[in-house]
């Protein structure tokens, strides 16, 4: 308890008079969070609103979780609100994993209620073990310094009072107060990457390398956060010195940029793109390296970036902006070696084949699995061409790619930059969007082709690995 109090005060999480929304699932972590907040009110006067998000995933068990939390709040005179969301429907509609959709639903609900009630903070129950899991996950997926720093104690209105506490300490505290909690059985499964890290990788690390592994990883994350904060301060100073921002554009003085350390140059370029309005989710290390190379080259050169953006070198200026209509044409086609990898102007793709017996394959926006037995030997990563089409249902119904992109409301200026996995005119995967129904994995699939785009997470905003439906 005192450890959590000290951590809250270190980061000034709660002030007198605050109204704090507490996300309470009924699991050990979130119940401990609720009790810590109730106890901390004896030191600092503030109000608590407990919010439980029922995901519509686990049937009666999920409803029992909600009833359990409501009972706890009633017994302790804590204001309580229930939010019900059909997470599977949200996942289907937004083309997300159920885990990611659940996380989005929770935070959207918390923020909506914060605005409705005028609350000041949103307290969630991530702990030190979650931090270690997140750091390992982010490093493994190719994240930069921001992602490797893991979960922040405070981000905007969100606070994490238990981030310095281990899961064992949390459960020991609850047992010491004879307090039971709810358990989500899906947290014991190893279908998700976060659960494999939690139940397989971290225990092995602590058993065979260092029993304090989680603690040391969390300590490293805190150090990396301080490094990141310093880099952000230095980046801001550099931008004031050498960047001139306009409407959707930025001009950078090349001679001044070259005087900066290489790492700081990368931060400046990335932050410049973000402020100009360029979506960073597809900006990889390679794209930043291309811009640096352009800055060191001759005047008059340019390089194209994802999303219809471009970097142009003009004398001592580097201009980052949306490409004009003429500059948006970027046709290319690269043959894919399967299995193997291929380099394209828009990134590297890795292809591997394995048996359908392996059920624990990570899949997200940039990693997809297809039925290898249905695919020929002539695959290409390319941009769109006239006549392209995609199969949209199991009956073999086809749709012109152009119509699909219009229906998905993809701006016309970005369509030439959408990457495709193609076999002739047939599109197997609109990369970053949907796959063809003709090649989805089925129970009859014997071999799976996994395609992964490498390096899209460089320096981007990390996605916290929380406990899915259970905090």
Of 452, 283, 423, 277, nearest in space to 362 by CA: 452
Enter the tokens of residue 42.
Answer: 């004896």
Q: Establish if 231 belongs to a structural domain.
A: no
Return the pLDDT at 432.
84
> What is the reported pTM?
0.65
Where do we find the tokens 């997200």? 364
pLDDT tens for each residue of the chain, 471 residues long = 789 999 999 999 999 999 999 999 999 999 999 999 999 999 999 999 999 999 888 888 889 999 999 999 999 999 999 999 898 888 888 888 888 888 999 999 999 999 999 999 999 999 999 999 999 998 887 778 888 899 999 999 999 999 999 999 999 999 999 999 998 766 666 556 778 888 899 999 999 999 999 999 999 999 999 999 999 999 999 999 999 988 888 999 999 999 999 999 999 999 999 999 998 877 888 899 999 999 988 777 888 888 889 898 888 899 999 876 444 445 778 888 899 988 776 778 899 998 887 555 556 777 899 999 999 888 999 989 999 999 999 888 999 999 999 888 876 767 887 889 999 999 999 998 899 999 998 888 899 999 988 754 333 333 333 433 334
At which of 285, 308, 327 does a domain end?
A: 327
Which pLDDT value is given to residue 471?
42
Same domain, 316 and 366: no
208 and 351 share one domain: no
C-alpha span between 410 and 414 (Å, rounded): 7
Give the pLDDT of residue 458.
Answer: 34
Q: Is residue 121 part of a domain?
A: yes
**What residue numbers does the annotated binding site cover?**
25-30
CA-wise closest residue to 249 among 195, 194, 312: 312
Sequence ranges of the binding site for ATP: 25-30
| Shared domain check, 138 and 281 | no
State residue 286's pLDDT score: 87
pLDDT recorded at residue 304: 87
Give strand pairing partners of 313. Answer: 318
pLDDT of res. 468: 37
Q: Which of 307, 327, 347 is the last residue of a domain?
A: 327
Q: What is the predicted pLDDT for the residue at 191?
A: 57
Handedness of CA 135, 139, 142, 144 (dihedral sign): positive
Same domain, 182 and 255: no
**CATH number assigned to the domain comprising residue 101:** 3.40.50.620
Q: Please report whether residue 464 resides in a domain.
A: no
């Amino acid at each position: 308890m005192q450890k959590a109090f000290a951590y809250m005060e270190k980061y000034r999480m709660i002030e007198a008079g605050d109204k704090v929304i507490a996300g309470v699932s009924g699991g050990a972590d979130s119940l401990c969070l609720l009790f810590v907040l109730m106890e901390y009110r004896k030191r600092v006067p503030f109000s608590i609103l407990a919010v439980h998000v029922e995901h519509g995933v686990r049937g009666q068990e999920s409803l029992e979780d909600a009833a359990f939390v409501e009972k706890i709040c009633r017994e302790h005179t804590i204001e309580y609100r229930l939010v019900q969301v059909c997470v599977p429907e949200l996942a289907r509609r937004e083309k997300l994993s159920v885990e990611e959709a659940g996380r989005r639903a929770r935070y959207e609900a918390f923020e909506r209620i914060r605005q409705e009630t005028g609350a000041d903070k949103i307290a969630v129950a991530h702990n030190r073990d979650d931090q270690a899991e997140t750091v390992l996950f982010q490093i493994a997926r190719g994240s930069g310094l921001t992602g490797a720093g893991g979960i922040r104690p405070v981000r905007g209105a969100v606070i994490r009072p238990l981030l310095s506490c281990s899961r064992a300490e949390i459960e020991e505290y609850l047992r010491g107060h004879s307090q039971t909690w709810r358990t989500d059985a899906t947290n014991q499964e190893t279908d998700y990457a976060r659960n494999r890290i939690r139940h397989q990788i971290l225990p092995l690390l602590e058993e065979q390398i260092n029993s304090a592994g989680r603690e040391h990883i969390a300590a490293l994350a805190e150090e990396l956060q301080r490094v990141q904060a310093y880099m952000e301060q230095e980046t801001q100073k550099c931008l004031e010195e050498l960047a001139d921002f306009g409407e959707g554009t930025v001009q950078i003085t090349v001679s001044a940029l070259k005087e900066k350390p290489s790492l700081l140059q990368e931060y400046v370029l990335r932050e410049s793109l973000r402020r100009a309005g360029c979506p960073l989710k597809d900006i990889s290390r390679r794209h930043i390296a291309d811009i640096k190379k352009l800055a060191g080259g001759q005047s008059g050169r340019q390089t194209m970036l994802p999303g219809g953006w471009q970097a142009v070198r003009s004398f001592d200026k580097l201009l980052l902006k949306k490409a004009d209509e003429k500059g948006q044409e970027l046709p290319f086609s690269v043959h894919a070696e399967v299995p193997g990898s291929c380099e394209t102007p828009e990134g590297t793709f890795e292809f591997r084949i394995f048996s359908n017996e392996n059920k624990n394959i990570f899949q997200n926006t940039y990693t997809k699995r297809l039925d290898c037995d249905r695919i020929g030997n002539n695959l290409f990563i390319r941009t769109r061409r006239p006549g392209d089409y995609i199969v949209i249902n199991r009956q073999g119904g086809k749709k012109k790619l152009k119509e699909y992109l219009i229906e998905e409301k993809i701006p016309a200026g970005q369509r030439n930059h959408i990457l495709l996995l193609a076999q002739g005119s047939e599109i197997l995967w609109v990369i970053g969007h949907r796959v063809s129904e003709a090649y989805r994995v089925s129970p009859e699939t014997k071999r799976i082709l996994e395609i992964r785009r490498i390096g899209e997470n460089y320096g981007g905003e990390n996605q916290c690995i929380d406990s899915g439906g259970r905090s």
